[in-house]
Structure 1
């Protein structure tokens, strides 16, 4: 089999156990497979093979049907184990139909007659491993469908910072180098990670994991997998996300949240390119590209002894710093129109048109939540049927009654905002607010009631009055 037909990443991350009572066949397959696969073990009997299998999980079992003691088809511990499933290729020198039927009934992935050429065996192995990879990808697709819907926003913008970012992504995406993505919350760090994977040409899946959303006690098992009985509640063995990402990209979001003890284990996995499932004594080779993201400055975290310096240097091959939305306001109109079209379609409601003054008001806002905040704001506009422009006054301006109002606001919006500010300054006392505003108390009451009836987002007003 030529090297061009082999998927290098898929092979290096796979583990294989060969079971045959002929020492020559064991030696032949071990030498051939070790050139391409991460872990290859051999055994001369089912009993010995089961001892090895209990210590280490194997992706593939290549088993001779005729063996001393028990035949390969009678290896029930492996064939009937729902918790540590391995694909099986049976070998036999006897071309009997009944044997082939038995092999298929116990779940054989393939069946090869002896003698065979090495190319035949390698083709069978690759077919099995690719089917296994497809099953993993289907699992991840089901697991990530909700997250995908949340992160399907394309990378939009014509600002210089976005153009530079896109150029760097195209340049570094095909490389295996680790990339650290820094930026405030809501700037689109996962979007950049997905773009790096999509342009990488890697055949494996993109596997995201939020390091801050998983309890420290379960994080190691989530990343590296675990054996049955490794801890309370581990009623079956499970592969980790490193394994599911084989040949692809593992995205470690909010990596600054990793506890120090887990940082040491992650560093070893990255340097050795192996993982050890919780409860296992054996290490499994892994071949993944690592992308990491954080809303913290990891260099500052290192100085504060909250993050390991050696892990930081291992991840910091290349750092991409995402600009906050306030530093790329020229991209805001394009983003606003995109979210308006998409969300109105998703919600089944008409889009809210933006005037030039509306966009200017949005561009003057600081957007501390960045693109995520903008998306939520546009969704709120569509639900309400209008733009709640009072939300676009930043807190520091809101505290200064003499700061004025945006010139784009209509007169009725200015009146509403001013009345609510005065009422708030009077701590909800309507009579005092009416006197300060120079209007009758009944006039103030009438306006407040009308706002409550027409705007479901209006604040609940306290009915405080003077004695």
Structure 2
């Protein structure tokens, strides 16, 4: 009875938690589903590990209640294949056989409890309550550890494509220079990330100060950058330092510099040439040691041609140009980006990290990503909060339907295409591809060999 009281006391707090029951005994599944559904918002059941795996591919569960002895794959073998690097997935094993080997195996897999059948409802409710108490602690600890380990993750671009490797190498090479840098790229490609990495890899001890030029009213931007003295303009009741002064000894990042008024561009050029600023309302100058990194989602060269941006300032900023590619031009980086963002979001949201299947990656790689990396991160965050796959949230018309096949294709050709797409999504890793396909590595090799033989026969 005490276990029931613990459960009811915490029921409101755990209302959103989810449970998956896996047992080939339908009576046990029905009994537990009825009992646990009174306290938890999601209680699903599966009669075998194959059904359970299908459910797990669509939902992230907080607790698995698994029978050990089932036809086909045992509960222990099924759980053993999980990725236990994600935070807080609790397991309770059930069995009708009091075998020591099973108990030892369950403990090694990190099971919270090992319950013998038949059991009392209070016994199961108590075990579930302990699981969720442990879950809260493990997730809190996971969040803390992940925040520590990822607090410096913004020091480089994520990806293994040739373009990103070249950009990371360039960041390392030019970080310690005082030369100005101009970063160009579409919205969401990571311009501020690169600017921050340049600062972090430098020896500059001052702060990194980001400024969005498009977000400051044109009549206020000069005061924001250079500061002002008391009485410099209406409502200037006291002197104020500008962002150049705050960034002294560090780096000033001028994002969306294309939106800077032409009149102010000349004053910025003078600062770049003389390393001195003049606050608004005074003739006195102040020396500053600030490295300028500018960024734009528009081509400054084209704006210069249209006389919308000063040519002399453009050439002064463009000493070290860095052009960031859009995400659609580097789909091979999407898997690494997803892995990085899922870990990061898991720590921020205190939720289990999403598991992306090979099919999910195919859809993500086939999407055009108008919002680039920022859109990808937002999509992953939304999918974790809604407990669905990222591919489910993509606009159907925005993909190229890479996974669709003509209706007149023979089945073996469709199978070949799917296997090769999964292999590609797994970067050629056959073991990983086999796991995603639900077959053994040996079966994968046999199928690919058979398909190759079939192609050879068809060409003769």
Residue correspondence of structure 1 range 400-415 to structure 2 within 5 A: 406-407=403-404
2 CA distance for matches of 1:209 and 1:388?
Answer: 32
Q: Which residue number in structure 1 is paired with residue 275 of structure 2?
A: 273
Segments ≥4 residues shifted beyond 6 Å: 148-151
Q: Given the alignment, which residue of 308, 311, 315 partners 1:309?
A: 311
Structure 1 spans left out of the alignment, 5+ residues: 1-147, 398-402, 409-467
- Post-superposition Cα deviations, 1:26-53, rounded to whole Å, max 9, x if no partner, equal xxxxxxxxxxxxxxxxxxxxxxxxxxxx
Q: Which residue number in structure 2 is paired with residue 201 of structure 1?
A: 203
SS in 2 for 1:311: helix
- Using the TM superposition, give the Cα deviation of residue 406 of structure 1 relative to its aligned residue in structure 2, in angstroms: 3.4
1 CA distance for matches of 2:207 and 2:153?
Answer: 16
Q: Given the alignment, which residue of 341, 344, 354 partners 1:342?
A: 344
- Using the TM superposition, give the Cα deviation of residue 393 of structure 1 relative to its aligned residue in structure 2, in angstroms: 4.2
- Using the TM superposition, give the Cα deviation of residue 307 of structure 1 relative to its aligned residue in structure 2, in angstroms: 0.3
Q: CA RMSD in A?
A: 2.3
SS in 2 for 1:367: coil
TM-score in terms of structure 2 length:
0.53
- Using the TM superposition, give the Cα deviation of residue 264 of structure 1 relative to its aligned residue in structure 2, in angstroms: 1.3
- Post-superposition Cα deviations, 1:361-415, rounded to whole Å, max 9, x if no partner, equal 1000011101100000001110111125354346466xxxxx868359xxxxxxx
1 CA distance for matches of 2:331 and 2:401?
Answer: 22
Q: Which residue number in structure 2 is paired with residue 245 of structure 1?
A: 247
Q: Is the 8 A contact 1:211 1:255 kept in 2?
A: yes
SS in 1 for 2:214: coil
Q: Is the 8 A contact 1:206 1:248 kept in 2?
A: yes
Distance 1:404 1:355, change over 3 A: closer
Q: Which residue number in structure 1 is paired with residue 360 of structure 2?
A: 358
2 CA distance for matches of 1:305 and 1:266?
Answer: 17
Q: Is the 8 A contact 1:273 1:287 kept in 2?
A: yes
Q: Which residue number in structure 1 is paired with residue 185 of structure 2?
A: 183
1 CA distance for matches of 2:153 and 2:375?
Answer: 14
Distance 1:191 1:248, change over 3 A: same
Q: Is the 8 A contact 1:159 1:330 kept in 2?
A: yes
Residue correspondence of structure 1 range 133-282 to structure 2 within 5 A: 152=154, 154-282=156-284
Distance 1:379 1:279, change over 3 A: same
Residue correspondence of structure 1 range 42-81 to structure 2 within 5 A: none
Q: Is the 8 A contact 2:366 2:401 kept in 1?
A: no
2 CA distance for matches of 1:179 and 1:320?
Answer: 7
Q: Given the alignment, which residue of 284, 287, 290 partners 2:289?
A: 287
TM-score in terms of structure 1 length:
0.52
**Count of residue correspondences:** 256
Larger Rg: 1
Q: Which residue number in structure 1 is paired with residue 322 of structure 2?
A: 320
2 CA distance for matches of 1:372 and 1:316?
Answer: 25
Q: Is the 8 A contact 2:156 2:197 kept in 1?
A: no
2 CA distance for matches of 1:155 and 1:316?
Answer: 21
- Using the TM superposition, give the Cα deviation of residue 351 of structure 1 relative to its aligned residue in structure 2, in angstroms: 2.7
- Using the TM superposition, give the Cα deviation of residue 209 of structure 1 relative to its aligned residue in structure 2, in angstroms: 0.8
1 CA distance for matches of 2:163 and 2:185?
Answer: 13
2 CA distance for matches of 1:160 and 1:375?
Answer: 22
2 CA distance for matches of 1:340 and 1:366?
Answer: 20
Distance 1:287 1:264, change over 3 A: same
2 CA distance for matches of 1:219 and 1:151?
Answer: 31
2 CA distance for matches of 1:394 and 1:262?
Answer: 45
Structure 2 spans left out of the alignment, 5+ residues: 1-149, 406-460
